Structure 1
Amino acid sequence: MALSRLGEVLARHRVTVLVVAVLAAALAGVFGGGVADKLSGGGFTDAHSESARVSSALADDFQAGDANLIVLVRGDGKPDDPTVAGPATRLARWAQHADGVAAMQSYWTSGHPASLRSKDGTRALITLRLSGDEDTYMNAAQRLTPQLTEHAGGLHLEFAGAAQVYSELNKQTQHDLKISEAIATPITAVLLILVFGSVVAAVLPLLIGGLSIVTTMLVLELLTHVTSVSTYALNLTTALGLGLAIDYSLFILTRFREELAQRGNRGDRATVRAAISATMHTAGRTVLFSAVTVALAMAALAVFPLDFLKSFAYGGVSVVVLAAAGALLVLPALLALLGTRVNRLDVLARWRRSRRRASPPADGATGTETAGDDGAKPAVTGDTGFWHALAVRVMRRPVPFGLGVIVILAVLGSPFWHISFGLVDDRQLPASAAVQQASQQLRDDFDRSGDRSVQVVTRDVAESALPGYARRLSALDHVARVDTATGRYVHGRRVAPPTAADARYRSGSDAWLTVVGTRSPQSDAAQQLVADVRGTHSPGHDTIVGGKAAYQYDSTHALMSRLPAAGAIVAIATLVLLFLFTGSVVLPVKAIVLNILSLTATFGAMVFVFQDGHLGALVGHPITTGYLDMTVPVLMFCIAFGLSMDYEVFLLSRIREQYLRTGDNTAAVGTGLQRTGRLITAAALLIALVLVAFGTSQVAMLKMLGIGLALAVLVDATLVRGVLVPAFMRLLGAANWWAPGPLRWLHERVGLAESEAAPASAAERDGEPLPVP
C-alpha cells in the first residue's frame, strides 16, 4: 500500500487507530513496567571464549575460581584481636553455608594468610565465590549482603567484587533513568513550543515519544524471556525512543502544517485528508527509509558475540521500528482528528506579528545571488535566510571552508589514535559509591596479585611433564612466578617445593597452573603475556588460558574480528538508501566519508575527556582509569552513523528536488539547505538535549554514550551539513549526480526521492519559502 493511500486510510479510521494505540500503551505499561528488575548487569565478555571455558573448568573440575563477592571486615581492634576474630569467624562459617555460595575463604578460617589482611593491619577479608552466571550471582549478592550485615555481630562490613559491582550498576542505571526522563521531558516540551509556536503541535511529538518508550519496555520484557538484555539497554533505548519519535514526528508535523498552509488552512475533512496524504507521500517516505537505515545500523551490533551489544541490537531495532510506527501510524490519525486545531494555543503569534511590523518586506524582488555551476553568471533564488547565506558563503570559497572544518575535526579526533581499551569494573560508578570505595581499598591496601594472574588448565598431562612446562612459563616476560602442583617457579627455575595446599592444582589427569603477572590486566604487557602463554608449548592434550587479562584479550579479539562485518552492514545500508533517494553513487560515498570524519572527531573528544581525564568538571568528574570500555566506541559508531542518516536523507532529498527543477547544482544546494536547515537544526538540538539528559547518569559508560552521541549529532547537523556538504557538492558540481547507466535505469523505477513522490506546490515552483502557520 502506498504511503499516500495509507495516510487516507488512517485519516478515515482515525478514532479506531487512536483507541488501538491507547490500549497498546496501557497493555505495554502493565506488562512491561517491571522490565528493569529482569535486566542483566553483565554481558561484557564472550561467553563462548577460551577464557570463559577456563572459568567453567576451574569451577567444575578444581572447585576454584575468582571470588565475585568480597567482604572487607573491620572491627574496633586488629583482625587478630579476640573481639574481632570471634564474630568474624562465626560470620565466615555462616557465609560458607549460605545459599548460592560455592566456595569461601577468609583470613580467620584459612590460616591467616597475609594476602587476606590489609597492609595497615586494620581490615581483613572474607571472599566468596557465588555460583552461576553473571545474573545469578548478581541476584545472589543482592540477597546475601543484607544477610551478612545482620550476622556481622557488631563488625563493620564493606562489599566489593564483580557480583556487588554489577548489582550496584543495575540499581544506579534504574535510578539515573528516572532522573534523566524528568530532565529531558520538560526541556523538550519548551523547545518544541519554540519550534512550533503552537502548544497543541508541541504536545504531539511528546505523545509519540511516550508511546514509543512504553512499548519499547514491553519489547524488552519479552526479550528477557529468550535472551540476556543489558540493564544499560533500557536507558539508551529509552533515550533513542524519545529522541527518534520526536525527530520523526517533527518531520511529519512540519510537512503537514506546510500542506495545510498551501491549501489555505481550511479545516474541512477533505482538505485535511489531502494534506495528510501528501505528507505521508513526502515526509512519510523520508521517515520510513531513514528508520530502515537506523534499524540496520543498530542490527549490525548483533554480529558481535557479546550479550551486552546483542541486547542493544535487539532493543535498538525494536525502538526504531516503534518510533517510526508511532510517527507513521498514530500521528497521522491524531492530525486527522485535530485538523487545523493543530495550530491552536500559538503562544508566539504576538511575537511573530511584532517582527513582521518591525521588518516589512521591501518592494520588488529580493532575490539572493549565488555563483552558478559554471562560475560565471550568478543564479538567483527567492530563498533567503541564515542557512542559505551560509551555503552561499561556503560555496563561494569551498576549499578554505572545507579544509578549515576538516582541520578542526582532525584536531578534535587526534586523541583517538592513542585510545586504550579495558573491561567494565567498579570505576564506572562515581567515587561516592560504596562499592567503588571498597574496591579502591582492595587495590590500595591488599595484595591483588590474583587479578594479574593468567590461569592455565591443561588436560591429560603427566606429573613429570609439569615442571618443564612451569619453568618455560615462568621465564616469559612480565611473569612474577608460576604456582602449580609441583611447586613454585620463578625465572625458569623452581624456587619452592609443593605444599599440601598445592594439591588443589591437580584434578585427576588434569592440571592447573597460575601464572602471576607483573602488570594490570588492562595493560599492553598483560595482553601480550596472554598471547605468549597461549603460544608456549604445553605437554597436555588440550590447554586453555584464562583470567582477567585473557577475558579482555578474548573480548577485544571478538570485537575486532566482527568489526568488518558490522561496518559492511552499516556501509551497505547507507549506500543503498542514499542511492535510492538521490540516484547518485557519488553522494552515498561522500556521506560515508564525512560521517567517519565527524565520528572520529567525536571519538577523539571522548578519549580526551573520559580516558585522559580533561574537562572533568564539565561532565560530572567521572573516575579516570586511563582506558575506555571497548564496547562503547562500537556502540557509539553504529548508533551515531544511523542517526546521521536522518538528516542526510532529509537534506539530500530536498537538494535533489531543487536540482531536478533547475538543473543548477549550486542553487539547489543553497535552496535545499535553507528549506531544511531550520528543521534539521531543531531536530538535532532536540535529540541532543535528550541524549545529554541521559548523559547526566552517574554511570561513566552511559554518561559517555549520552554526551558522545549528543556531540556527534550536533557536529553532524552543523559543521557537516552546514559547511562540508555544500563545500563538497560545490566542488563536485554536476558529478554529484553521476551514476552508471544501469543504475540510472534502476533508480528511475525504484527511486524514493520526495520530488518524485508529489508535485511541487505553486510556492515551491516560484522559489518562495513555504509559509508555516
Structure 2
Amino acid sequence: MASLLFRLGSFSFRHKWAVIAAWLAAMIAVVSLVGVLQPKFAQDFSLPGTDSGTATEQVQEYFPQVMKEQERASTSILVAADDGLQNHTDQINKLAEDLRTLPDVIAPETVVNPVVAAAVDPAIAPSVLGDNGRVGLIQVRQNITVMDLTAENKEELVKILDENRGNGLQVEATGALMQVMDQGGAAELIGFAIAFVVMIVAFGALIAAFIPLVTAIVGVAITIMLLTLSAELLSINQSATAIVTMLGIAVSIDYALFIVSRYRAELNRGGDAADAAGRAVGTAGSAVVFAGLTVIIAVVALVVIGIPIITQMGAGAAVAIFIAVSAALTLIPALLGAFGRFAFRPKIPWIKHAEQAESGDTLGVRLGRTVVKAPIPFIVIGLLALAAAAIPATKMELGLSLSTEDEAPAQALLSKGFGEGINGPLLVVLHDDDAPIAPVANEAVKHIAGLKDVVNPETLTWIGNEGGQNGNTALITVTPKSAPSSAATHTLMDNIRAYSPTVDKEGAELHVGGQTAIMSDLSQKLDDALIPYLIVVVGLAFLIMIGVFRSLWVPLVGTVGFIFSVLATFGITVAIFQEGWLGIITNTQPIISFLPIFLIGVVFGLAMDYQVFLVTRMREEYIHGMTAKEAIVAGYRHGARVVTSAAIIMISVFAAFMLSPETTAKMMGFALASAVLFDAFVIRMLVVPAVIALLGDRAWTLPRWLDKLVINFDIEGEAVRHRGLPDPDDEKTPVPAS
C-alpha cells in the first residue's frame, strides 16, 4: 500500500492545479445543489420498530390533523411574579399585544393575559394559571412550519421578551421559536483560530500552518453539503450535523498536520520535492489511512443500534472521515506543490523547527527517556488518575431532551406552575382494523383514569380519527403528575402498556408514544445493542491493529487503555453536566441517553488515531535496528510534538462547541474534548509507551502461525523509505528545506 500511496502523493504534487481544481469543483457543485434544492432537516425524533415508534406512526397515519398541528410553530410564553400576576396586569397586557405582532399568528385574539383569560372563562383557568396565580401561560401558534422558522424569527421573539420582563415580572419562552438553531458558526471559527495558532507553533511558518485549514474547510463544507442534500431524500435530524462538523474539522486538521510534518522531514532528507511528497504520503499517509479506517469502522458500526438519529450521526461522521483522509492524501500534496519553496515561509524566528534533529534534546525526548527509565510509576499514576475521574460515572442518569439551554428557565416555570409531567405527556393510541374503536376506547379511558399519577383523571377523554365515534382509531393524551424521567412516570407508562392484553382480546391494539415512552424504549434498545456493538467495533479494530503493528500486545494495551479513558470521560461528564461540579453548567441535566454508546465508538476510533500516529513511528525505528527502548525515545523525538499539537487542536475544536445553545452539541463537545485529553496525553503519551518499555522486544512480535496469516500492510513505508534518494546514506546529510 505504501507504494500506491507514494504514487498518489507524487502525482498530486506534480499535477497540483488539476487536483486543486477537482476539489474546488466538487465543493462548488454540492454547494450549488443545496442552494437550488434547499432541503430541510427534520425536527422529529422516532424509534421505528418499538412500541413508541408504532404509536408515532399511527398518529401520523390516522390523525394527520394532529401531526399537521404539531408541524406548525407553537411557542409557550411563561410569565411569573412572586407577588402574583394580577399585580402586573398592564405589563402582561403589553406583552400579549407585542406577541400578537409576530408573523402569521393563528387566532391572535387568544394571545391574551392569562389572568384576563381565566376571569373570562374559569374553565380554562387551570391550563393558563398555576402556582396560585403566580405563574401564567400564553400560547402563541403561528401558521409557519417549524422547519421554516429562521434565526430572525427567534431574535424578534427574544427582543419582545427582553422589553417586557422586569419590575418583578419574569418572562421566559420555550418551544418552536426558541429551538431555532443559530447558524453563525462561532464554535467553528474559534476552533479554526486555535488550530491556526497551534500549527504556527508546530511548523514555525505561516503558510504551512494555513494549509491544513484549507483542507479542513473544503472537506467539512463538502461533507455538510452532502448531509444536507441527503435530507432531500431521507429524514435527517439537524442534530446530526453538530457531531459531523466537530469530527470533520478535527480529523481534517489532524490528518493534514501529520502529512505536512512528514513532508517537511522528508524534504530535509534531500531529493526531489515531488518524491518527498510521495514519501510523506507513503509513510505518514499509511498511518492516516489506517487511523481513518479505524474511526470509520467505529462510527459505521453504530448502525447495529437501529436508532435513526445515531445511524445518521455515524454515517455522516464516516463520510467526514473518508473525505478528510482523501483530502490529506491528495489535496495536501497538491497545495504543497502549489506553494512550492514558499510552503514553509515566512518563518517565525523565535519558534524552533518542528522536526527536531537526531541529536536534539527536546522536551518530548526527555519525557520519553523518563518513561523508559521508570515505566511503572507512569502506568500506576496514569491509570489511578483515570480511575478516580471515572468515579462519578456510578451516578450516571440517562435522559433525552430536545430543548435548548435557552429554554431551561421557561421549562422550570412550566413545571412549577403546571406540574412536572406537562413536559412529557403520554400518547396512547388504540386501533382496530375491523370495528369502531369507541367501546374499547371508553373502557381504556376508565382504566387509565384509575391509575396513579394521572393529572385531572376526571377530565380524561379520547379523540377519534375521521368518523368520530365510528372511527377505528382513538388517541388519548395522558399527562403524568411526575417528571418525564421519574420512576413514577415510567411506572405509569408500564401500567398503561400492561392493559394491552385486555385490548388485544377485543381485537384491537394499544401502543404508548410520546417523549417519555420514546426515552424508555430508547434506553432498552441501547442496552440491547451495547454488547453487540462493542464486539463489532473492538473486534474489527483489534484485527486491523494486529495487522498495523504486527503485534498482539500493542493492540491489547491500546484497547485496555481506551477502556480507562472512556470511563474517565463518562465520569467527568457526569460530574460537570449532571452533578454541576465547578458551576460550569447552570442548568444540570441527565446525560443524553445515546451519548455513552456513541462516545464509545467515536473515542475508540480517535484513540486508535493517536496509537497509530505515535506508536507506528516507534515500530518504524525498531524494525530499522534500534532497541525497543531506543525506538520509544525516537518515537517521542519525531512524534511527540506533532501528536501533542494534533491533540490540542482536536480538544480545542471539540471544546469550542460548548458555546452552542444546543444541549446535544454542548455535551458532545465537552465529552469528546475530555476523551481526547485523557486518551492522548495520559494513555497514548504515557501509559502505552511505558507498557511497551516493560515488554521490550516481546511488544513487537507475533506467534509464528499468526505472523504467516497477517498481511504485511507496510504501514511504516519501508517500500518507499528511500524512494527518490540517490543513496540511503544521504539521510545523514540533511538538505535544508527552502
Query: TM-score with structure 2 length normalisation?
Result: 0.81
Equivalents in 2 of 1:715, 1:510: separation in Å? 53
Given the superposition, is the C-alpha separation of residues 743 and 32 from structure 1 closer, same or farther in structure 2, using an over 3 Å criterion? farther
Which of 635, 646, 658 aligns to 2:609? It is: 646
Q: Which residue of 2 aligns with 1:417?
A: 394
Deviations 1:688-741 (A, max 9, x none): 222222333233332222222122212222111222102222333343234343
1:457 aligned counterpart, secondary structure: strand
Which of 524, 530, 542 aligns to 1:557? It is: 524
2:227 aligned counterpart, secondary structure: helix
Q: Does 1:251 align with 2:262?
A: no
Q: Is 760-769 or 720-729 further displaced after alignment?
A: 760-769
Equivalents in 2 of 1:517, 1:474: separation in Å? 11
Q: Which residue of 2 aligns with 1:112?
A: 124
Q: Which residue of 1 aligns with 2:542?
A: 575
Deviations 1:410-443 (A, max 9, x none): 11011112110111143x31xxx3x444333222
Residue identity in the other structure for 1:678: R
Given the superposition, is the C-alpha separation of residues 404 and 112 from structure 1 closer, same or farther in structure 2, using an over 3 Å criterion? same
1:343 aligned counterpart, secondary structure: coil
Q: Which residue of 2 aligns with 1:101?
A: none
Equivalents in 2 of 1:447, 1:634: separation in Å? 32
Q: Is the 8 A contact 1:653 1:754 kept in 2?
A: no
Q: Which residue of 1 aligns with 2:347?
A: 346
1:662 aligned counterpart, secondary structure: coil
Equivalents in 2 of 1:80, 1:200: separation in Å? 63
Q: Which residue of 2 aligns with 1:744?
A: 707
Equivalents in 2 of 1:217, 1:293: separation in Å? 21
Equivalence map 1:521-600=2 (5 Å): 521-536=484-499, 538-541=501-504, 542-600=509-567
Q: Does 1:315 align with 2:316?
A: yes
2:19 aligned counterpart, secondary structure: helix
Given the superposition, is the C-alpha separation of residues 507 and 395 from structure 1 closer, same or farther in structure 2, using an over 3 Å criterion? farther
Which of 5, 13, 16 aligns to 2:15? It is: 13
Deviations 1:466-518 (A, max 9, x none): 89877776776x535784xxxx4xxxxxxxxxx7x846489546666666544
Q: Which residue of 1 aligns with 2:658?
A: 695
Residue identity in the other structure for 1:50: D
Shift of residue 137, structure 1, vs aligned partner? 4.1
Q: Which residue of 1 aligns with 2:362?
A: 385
Shift of residue 522, structure 1, vs aligned partner? 0.8
Equivalents in 2 of 1:765, 1:482: separation in Å? 87
Q: Which residue of 2 aligns with 1:229?
A: 236
Given the superposition, is the C-alpha separation of residues 593 and 128 from structure 1 closer, same or farther in structure 2, using an over 3 Å criterion? same
Equivalents in 2 of 1:436, 1:513: separation in Å? 28
Given the superposition, is the C-alpha separation of residues 141 and 60 from structure 1 closer, same or farther in structure 2, using an over 3 Å criterion? farther
Which of 615, 621, 626 aligns to 2:582? It is: 615
Equivalents in 1 of 2:193, 2:514: separation in Å? 47
Equivalence map 1:18-33=2 (5 Å): 18-32=20-34
Aligned residues: 695
Q: Is the 8 A contact 1:257 1:772 kept in 2?
A: no
Equivalents in 2 of 1:452, 1:393: separation in Å? 56
Given the superposition, is the C-alpha separation of residues 64 and 769 from structure 1 closer, same or farther in structure 2, using an over 3 Å criterion? farther
Q: Does 1:330 align with 2:325?
A: no
Q: Is 254-263 or 692-701 further displaced after alignment?
A: 692-701
Identity of aligned residues (%): 25
Q: Does 1:166 align with 2:179?
A: yes
Residue identity in the other structure for 2:7: R
Deviations 1:158-211 (A, max 9, x none): 7855434433xx23xx23x2x223323333222211111122211211211221
Q: Does 1:632 align with 2:595?
A: yes
2:54 aligned counterpart, secondary structure: helix
Q: Which has the higher contact order (CA 8 A, sep 6+)?
A: 2
Q: Which residue of 1 aligns with 2:377?
A: 400
Residue identity in the other structure for 2:18: T
Q: Which residue of 1 aligns with 2:269?
A: 262
2:133 aligned counterpart, secondary structure: coil
1:539 aligned counterpart, secondary structure: helix
Q: Is the 8 A contact 1:458 1:538 kept in 2?
A: no
Given the superposition, is the C-alpha separation of residues 211 and 537 from structure 1 closer, same or farther in structure 2, using an over 3 Å criterion? closer
Shift of residue 281, structure 1, vs aligned partner? 1.4
Given the superposition, is the C-alpha separation of residues 147 and 53 from structure 1 closer, same or farther in structure 2, using an over 3 Å criterion? farther
Equivalents in 1 of 2:159, 2:388: separation in Å? 56
Equivalents in 2 of 1:352, 1:472: separation in Å? 77
Q: Which residue of 1 aligns with 2:429?
A: 457
Q: Which residue of 1 aligns with 2:412?
A: 440
Q: Which residue of 2 aligns with 1:605?
A: 572
Given the superposition, is the C-alpha separation of residues 769 and 195 from structure 1 closer, same or farther in structure 2, using an over 3 Å criterion? farther
Given the superposition, is the C-alpha separation of residues 439 and 654 from structure 1 closer, same or farther in structure 2, using an over 3 Å criterion? same
2:679 aligned counterpart, secondary structure: helix
Equivalents in 2 of 1:145, 1:689: separation in Å? 29
Q: Is the 8 A contact 1:84 1:155 kept in 2?
A: no
Given the superposition, is the C-alpha separation of residues 469 and 341 from structure 1 closer, same or farther in structure 2, using an over 3 Å criterion? closer
Shift of residue 56, structure 1, vs aligned partner? 5.1
Q: Is the 8 A contact 2:39 2:229 kept in 1?
A: no
Shift of residue 151, structure 1, vs aligned partner? 14
Given the superposition, is the C-alpha separation of residues 535 and 11 from structure 1 closer, same or farther in structure 2, using an over 3 Å criterion? same
Q: Is the 8 A contact 1:69 1:161 kept in 2?
A: no
Equivalents in 1 of 2:348, 2:155: separation in Å? 54
Residue identity in the other structure for 2:637: Q
Equivalents in 2 of 1:754, 1:677: separation in Å? 20
Q: Which residue of 2 aligns with 1:217?
A: 224
Q: Is the 8 A contact 2:438 2:469 kept in 1?
A: no
Q: Is 283-292 or 536-545 further displaced after alignment?
A: 536-545
Q: Does 1:282 align with 2:283?
A: yes
Gaps of 5+ in 2: 109-116
Equivalents in 1 of 2:18, 2:443: separation in Å? 78
Which of 69, 72, 94 aligns to 2:74? It is: 69
Q: Is 585-594 or 403-412 further displaced after alignment?
A: 585-594
Gaps of 5+ in 1: 99-105, 362-380, 489-498
Residue identity in the other structure for 1:233: A
Computed over aligned residues only, the root mean square deviation of the Cα atoms, in angstroms, reads 4.4
Residue identity in the other structure for 2:302: L
Q: Which residue of 2 aligns with 1:42?
A: 43
Q: Is 142-151 or 336-345 further displaced after alignment?
A: 142-151
